[in-house]
């Protein structure tokens, strides 16, 4: 019972390491509690403890899913609570798998298990959660360190590299607590090496300016989600964004949020967007507009970002949101549509490789909504792209943890790629992030705002932009695999000795 309570407590504490709380030190302490109960557990018990940890972690950390379904999805309180609980129960399977893997592959000294096996198993299962069934990489532990010395690892090994070192640090803290004086010294020295080494990496400039800074304006319309798609509000909403744009012709680039236009591009192209594009060209300004796009050939619908200005172009969202833009496993999960009164649009995913949009004289890496939470996908188009643009609509989640956690992930993308991130949202968080992942300018949430600031185009490539997630994930998978093989060989050898004449 004590072990179960420790595991659950550790999971409940972990979300407080992330935005909006930002108590980054909680993350290694939380994992240290989990590793402690794994040390003396069987594989099945370790899975149980990992599952309890996951229930606490996701029960607190993704509670905003309930807000989305109940306040904006049209479901009743019991259905929203039930579906949220089901989602949390699914996500908790991944820490459970980490526990089973860690103990099954473990063995040997405390240091081997806490510094090698457990951290590697944790990262492997986080990576698995990030792509299985379209992926949900929320609350991956590396994101909690965007404001600590460990952030220096992100441009080299990405969020998984940061997460792995964080888990190793948790193992070192646990070892310092459990081992004798000599072991304690080793653990504390190891922790110091991790922290100092990460800080030194943070001083390296992996990318460099590609030209002069550019003035940009990001529009935050603050359109209520329950009013956004009403037919009578379409003209008013589009005109509001047009008026805000015309007030900022002194900027070189103006960006509207995701689906800022509550109508298909073809429905407003002549009446609103064509005149606006003509004005933009006269002023030498480019405008990026979030708008649904209909393609008659094939009868396909896309969530799009369209460029108005010197070089027109469009980007179609590649990674669609399950249950919001498409229904996964439709034969099994069709009942969800009867609960959620969200008009499922059945959007089509855009091609993986698309021609880069160009705005303000430079090619850019575009992402829509939660595409920016997938680090590997943000690398497509690098190092050609000079900056990152994300447009989103987090109004679905109200004033919950979600917008702040999403903003933290956008900061990690800037840090990993060594590129500025320009992020325009409907209700917030709208802001400019520099190439080191630091906020330059941030608009107040839930207010209509035109945020103006400077953006620096960048050139060059970070090691992460060249390698992606594979070095960090491959290292962790290799550790788990080697430890598994070593454990099986030892068991087989022990069984062989017992089978010999006179064996015990």
The catalytically annotated residue of 104, 126, 277, 317 is 317
Element of type H or E holding 309:
none
Interatomic CA distance for residues 458 and 209, integer angstroms: 4
Indicate if 416 belongs to the active site.
no
Interatomic CA distance for residues 46 and 96, integer angstroms: 7
Torsion angle (degrees, nearest 10) of CA 460, 462, 465, 471? 150
Interatomic CA distance for residues 325 and 394, integer angstroms: 14
Interatomic CA distance for residues 131 and 423, integer angstroms: 24
Interatomic CA distance for residues 427 and 448, integer angstroms: 8
Neighbours of 60 (CB within 10 A): 17
In this structure, are residues 262 and 307 in contact, taking their beta carbons and an 8 Å threshold? no
Interatomic CA distance for residues 415 and 372, integer angstroms: 12
Indicate if 258 belongs to the active site.
yes
In this structure, are residues 429 and 449 in contact, taking their beta carbons and an 8 Å threshold? no
In this structure, are residues 436 and 458 in contact, taking their beta carbons and an 8 Å threshold? no
Report the DSSP pairing between strands 431-433 and 439-442: antiparallel
Is the torsion defined by CA of 444, 448, 454, 456 positive or negative?
Answer: positive
Indicate if 369 belongs to the active site.
yes
The catalytically annotated residue of 126, 258, 325, 416 is 258
Strand order in the sheet with 421-425: 358-359, 362-368, 387-392, 421-425, 431-433, 439-442
The catalytically annotated residue of 126, 277, 369, 449 is 369
Q: Enumerate the β-bridge partners of residue 143.
A: none
> Would you please indicate which residues are annotated as catalytic (active-site) residues?
258, 317, 369
């Amino acid at each position: 019972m004590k072990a179960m309570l420790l595991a659950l407590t550790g999971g409940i504490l972990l979300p407080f390491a992330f935005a909006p709380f930002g108590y980054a030190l909680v993350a290694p302490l939380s994992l240290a509690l989990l590793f402690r109960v794994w040390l003396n557990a069987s594989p099945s018990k370790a899975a149980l403890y990992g599952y309890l940890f996951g229930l606490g972690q996701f029960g607190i950390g993704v509670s905003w899913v309930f807000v989305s379904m109940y306040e904006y999805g049209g479901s009743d309180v019991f259905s929203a609570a039930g579906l949220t609980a089901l989602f949390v129960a699914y996500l908790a399977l991944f820490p459970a798998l980490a526990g089973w893997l860690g103990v099954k592959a473990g063995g040997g000294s405390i240091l081997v298990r806490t510094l090698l096996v457990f951290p590697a198993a944790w990262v492997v299962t986080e990576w698995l959660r990030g792509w299985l069934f379209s992926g949900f990489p929320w609350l991956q532990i590396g994101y909690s360190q965007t404001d600590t010395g460990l952030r220096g690892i992100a441009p080299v090994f990405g969020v998984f590299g940061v997460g792995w070192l964080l888990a190793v640090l948790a193992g070192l803290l646990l070892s310092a607590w459990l081992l004798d004086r000599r072991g304690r010294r080793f653990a504390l020295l190891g922790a110091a090496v991790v922290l100092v080494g990460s800080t030194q990496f943070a001083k390296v400039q992996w990318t460099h300016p590609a030209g002069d800074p550019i003035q940009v304006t990001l529009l935050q319309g603050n359109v209520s989600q329950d009013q956004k798609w009403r037919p009578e509000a379409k003209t008013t909403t589009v005109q509001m964004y047009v008026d805000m744009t015309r007030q900022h012709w002194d900027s070189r680039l103006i960006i509207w949020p995701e689906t800022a236009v509550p109508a298909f591009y073809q429905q407003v192209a002549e009446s609103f967007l064509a005149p606006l594009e003509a004005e933009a060209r006269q002023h030498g300004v480019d405008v990026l507009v979030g708008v649904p796009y209909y393609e008659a050939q094939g009868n396909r619908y896309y969530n799009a970002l369209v460029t108005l200005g010197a070089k027109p172009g469009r980007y179609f969202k590649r990674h669609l949101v399950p249950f919001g833009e498409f229904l996964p496993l439709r034969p099994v999960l069709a009942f969800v549509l009867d609960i959620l009164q969200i008009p499922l649009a059945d959007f089509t995913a855009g091609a993986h490789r698309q021609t880069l949009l160009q705005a303000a004289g430079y090619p850019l890496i575009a992402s829509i909504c939660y595409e920016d939470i997938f680090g590997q996908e943000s690398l497509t188009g690098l190092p050609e792209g000079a900056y990152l643009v994300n447009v989103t609509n987090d109004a679905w989640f109200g004033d919950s943890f979600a917008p702040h956690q999403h903003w933290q992930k956008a900061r990690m993308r800037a840090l990993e790629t060594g590129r500025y991130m320009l992020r325009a949202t409907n209700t917030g968080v709208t802001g400019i992030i520099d190439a080191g992942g630091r906020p330059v300018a941030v608009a107040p949430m839930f207010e209509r705002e035109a945020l103006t600031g400077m953006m620096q185009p960048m050139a060059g490539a970070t090691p992460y932009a060249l390698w992606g997630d594979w070095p960090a994930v491959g290292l962790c998978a290799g550790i788990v695999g080697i430890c598994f093989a070593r454990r099986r060989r030892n068991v087989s050898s022990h069984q062989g000795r017992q089978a010999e004449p006179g064996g015990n």
